[in-house]
Structure formats: C-alpha cells, structure tokens
Structure 1
Amino acid sequence: MCGNNMSSLLLAEAVTVSGQEKETAAVIFLHGLGDTGHGWAEELRKNRLPYVKYICPHAPSMPVTLNMKISMPSWFDLIGLSPDAREDESGIKKASENILAIIDHEAKNGIPPNRVMLGGFSQGGALSLYTALTCQQQLAGVVALSCWLPLHKTFPQAASESNREMPILQCHGESDPMIPVRYGQLTSTKLKTIVSPEKHKFNTFPDLMHCSCPEEMVMVKEFIEEHLPKI
C-alpha cells in the first residue's frame, strides 16, 4: 500500500476525541507495539483541553522480528531493543511520512503545524520523536513516554532546523523492564545535543514499570496546555 493511501487509512480509522468548543490545536498520539489507539484516546479524554482535538491512530499490522515474526499492530519492524540493535530504517521513515501526512491534513482543515503536538508511548513515542525532530515545519512540541530515539546515530545531522527550539517532555518509569530507564537517559542526553537543552524536560517515576501513571498524565496535560495555549 502506498504512503498516501496508508496515511488516509490511518486517519479514517483513528480514534478522535473532538474538542468541546472550536478546535484550534491538535495532539496526535501514537500507541505502543501490539496496542491500538483506543486506550490512549480514553486516557487523553480524562485530561483533555476543550479546544484541542486528540487524534489516536492505529498502527497497521505487520510481522515483528522481535516477536518471532508474529503479526501485530506495529509502526515499523522492531529487530531489538538495545541502543546498538539493527533498525528498520526504511520502515521508520515510511511511518514518519504517514504521520506527517496527518499533520498536512490538519493544516488543510485549519490547524497549522505550529498548533500540532506529537506524542506517543513506547514505539509510538519513538516514532513521534523521530517525526517531530525531522519535520520541516515547526511543531508545537512532542511528548515522549517510555521510549527511545530511533536512528539515533543519524542525529543531530538528521534534525530539521525548524525544530531546534521545539519543547520536548520525556518521561520514563525507573522500574521499566522492557525499555530500561538507562535507555531513556541515553535518549535524554542525545536530545540535549539536538534541541536547546532548556527546551527538554526528562522526568522519571520511581516504581513505574512499562506503563503510565496519573501523575505522568497530569504532567502531559500541563505540558500540552503550556505549549498549545488557548487562543
């Protein structure tokens, strides 16, 4: 399926939490491996801002190397989770193009890129980070939960000049068994070489595993409100 059709499908099937008043901003939030957009749409609904549209697309199903080639919702193939593991470069770039197409679609409907924020959890957070940092248009910010920066060796060169001042909220559980907090710390160090260090916040939560918690979601809401203020 070509990129354009895939992005249209992603948008058509996405779970959208509409604003309770005129929508002047959008948050595109990407779920983790094997999940769907439904859970995160509910989570965001609990802490929503009335003028923000929340879009939670579902990843397409594909065989995942890390999970014995079993087919499951995945933004791109995962071969390993360590920082030196081989990566699905073409899959990551293709997935990123599909997310950029959603941003373009919102722009055509009246929400400009600088009023769009990307976010995600785990593999979805990884894709959000990569897409936001390489996007040629200036975005409002990115929320990166329990994740890493894909193709990290290509940065800072791969980063677009448009997003050097982009705010990033990065959060990680200190007891995460899937993506250890050390990987989050390595990502944080790398991000400080890509965006202005004062634009990047890294918060860790003791006892939090590979999931979210209410305290983290309040932080996410405050970050969205700060960088997508009501017009």
Structure 2
Amino acid sequence: MAARQRRMTLPSTPGRVEPIYKPATKPASDPAHGATFIFLHGLGDDAEGLENIADQFQNGDKLSWMNWLIPNAMEDHDSQQTAWYTPSSLSTFAPSRPELEDDEDEEGLLKSVAYVESLIDACISKGVPPNRIVLGGFSQGCALSLILDLTSKKYSGKLAGIVGLCGYLPLAGKGRLQHLRAVNGLPPTHGDMAIFLARGKQDSLIPKRIWNLTLKGLEGFEATSVEQHEYDGGHTVGGPMLRDVCKFLETVVPKLED
C-alpha cells in the first residue's frame, strides 16, 4: 500500500498498516473548533474499504470542518483475516442455556481499545478536544466503538458521540462490562452521550436477536441518548443510512465560528 501524506503524528504498531488520514477540506483556524471522526472498518476489511465514504462526504462539501481518521486492524491468526478481535458466532437463535454461548475475545477487544485510545490521544495532542471527536465503525468497528465508550478509563462518555453501523455490543452477558467499568473506576451508568445505531433489516450477520440484545445492554447502563434506525437491506451501508449519519454528525460536532 502506498504511503500517504499525513498532517499529524500517529502511533505506529509493528505489523499494522498506517491509518488513512483525510484532513478537513475547510479546516478551522483553531483546531479546537474543528472535529475528527475516527472510523473503524469491519472484519476482513481495511481502511481503504471505508475511504470512499469519507470521499463522498468531502466531495459533497459535508462536514467540511471535520478530519477523517480511518485506522487498520491487524491480521488475526485465528480467523486468518484482518480483525479488531477474534470473531465469535452471532446466532439467530439463542442457545438452550446461557453458558453455551460462544466465548468472546475480551483480550483482543481490550487490546484494540488501547490502540484506538492512542489515536484519540494523538487527535487531542493536535488540539481537537474529546468533545469534538466522534468514534464509530462498521460491524466489528461498531462493536469496538461501543466497548471503548463503555469501558475506557480515559474516554468513556467523554467523546462527542458514537456511530455504530451494522454492529453489536460484545461482552453484554455475564456481567463483564459491569466488571470492566468497575475496574476502571467508572460509574455503573453511562449517561446521555449521543449514540447512533443502525442496521439493515435483512442483515443475517447481525441478526435481530443480537440487535435487540445490544439495545437491551445499552439500556442496562442507562444510555439515554441512543438514536436507532433500521433500513431496508443487509450487512451494508447505503445512501439513507449515510444521510442520517451526516445529520447526526452535524448535530454532535456542529460547525463553530472561528
């Protein structure tokens, strides 16, 4: 992959392809008046797979004050593809007993959380405050965004918003999220930070049961500002979804006067 010009120093991980950084087309003179969207790809994909979405926004003069930062997951040896964590089965039907649910890769999730935290650190070091940074992603990228928002000692509830597309909330059972929040000194409830969730009605990879468990899991943390949408289609991002994402972003990181 060809090297890309960047205007900020980003953390480097051996074996990880560097993120794609697309600066704002009309940057604010004060970085604190700009914004950054950290956008995480899904299983088996890479940053280039999402770059066209950033291009659509920028070419359409949407959120011209916003930078885009699109990182890359590393190769997962168990699934033999790029992944933020080793995937587990997301069955349409619940097992006969809760203990029969597949184990989830908590270690991999938390390792990726730490990497994304380092990207947020880099944005802040360039003058963009946490409340002007949006974190989001597609599929596994959505899952990782929700986990960071719920468990990060540094950034839980402190960002401008979360965008979750065609994804779900991992570690929702067996009290693991509650444990991680307690370990990190976080309160038992989440608060009113804005969360945008969307799925395709015909999405067989993230079935309705998993979507409902995600919503129930967020309700358990009293996440009171969850905006949820369902669209015609499957495990993909379409025009109507992106239009609603644009409206959400314009709301949580509006243009500020210099």
- SS where residue 13 of structure 1 aligns? coil
CA contact (8 A) 1:27 1:116 kept: yes
Residue 160 of structure 2 corresponds to 140
Residue 230 of structure 1 corresponds to 255
Distance 1:178 1:12, change over 3 A: closer
- Rg (Cα) greater in structure: 2
Residue 139 of structure 2 corresponds to 122
1: distance between equivalents of 2:238 and 2:118? 30
Q: What amino acid is the match of 1:117?
A: V
- Superposition map of 1:37-56 within 5 A: 37-47=47-57, 48-56=62-70
**Deviation at 1:152?**
1.2
4+ residue segments displaced more than 6 Å: none
1: distance between equivalents of 2:179 and 2:64? 38
Residue 8 of structure 1 corresponds to 12
Quote the RMSD (CA, aligned, Å): 2.2
2: distance between equivalents of 1:185 and 1:213? 21
Distance 1:157 1:200, change over 3 A: farther
Aligned length: 219
Deviates more, 1:122-131 or 1:180-189: 180-189
2: distance between equivalents of 1:78 and 1:121? 14
1: distance between equivalents of 2:222 and 2:254? 21
Residue 36 of structure 1 corresponds to 46
CA contact (8 A) 1:166 1:195 kept: no
Structure 2, unmatched stretches of 5+, are 1-9, 29-33, 95-100
Residue 78 of structure 1 corresponds to 87
2: distance between equivalents of 1:151 and 1:209? 24
**Deviation at 1:195?**
3.9
Distance 1:54 1:36, change over 3 A: same
Cα displacement string for residues 137-182 of structure 1 (whole angstroms, at most 9, x for unaligned residues): 3111100111111111223454444952211000011101111122
Percent identity over paired residues: 31
> Does residue 108 of structure 1 match 2:128?
no
**Deviation at 1:213?**
0.8
2: distance between equivalents of 1:185 and 1:203? 12
Q: TM-score, structure 1 length as denominator?
A: 0.87
- SS where residue 106 of structure 1 aligns? helix
Q: What amino acid is the match of 2:243?
A: V
**Deviation at 1:230?**
1.1
Which of 169, 189, 192 is the matching residue for 2:196? Answer: 169
Q: TM-score, structure 2 length as denominator?
A: 0.78
Which of 36, 42, 48 is the matching residue for 1:26? Answer: 36
2: distance between equivalents of 1:45 and 1:91? 30
Which of 235, 249, 252 is the matching residue for 1:210? Answer: 235
CA contact (8 A) 1:144 1:169 kept: yes
Distance 1:79 1:92, change over 3 A: same
2: distance between equivalents of 1:100 and 1:141? 15
Residue 106 of structure 2 corresponds to 89
Residue 74 of structure 2 corresponds to 60
Distance 1:79 1:196, change over 3 A: closer
CA contact (8 A) 1:117 1:140 kept: yes
> Does residue 149 of structure 1 match 2:169?
yes
1: distance between equivalents of 2:147 and 2:211? 14
Structure 1, unmatched stretches of 5+, are 1-5
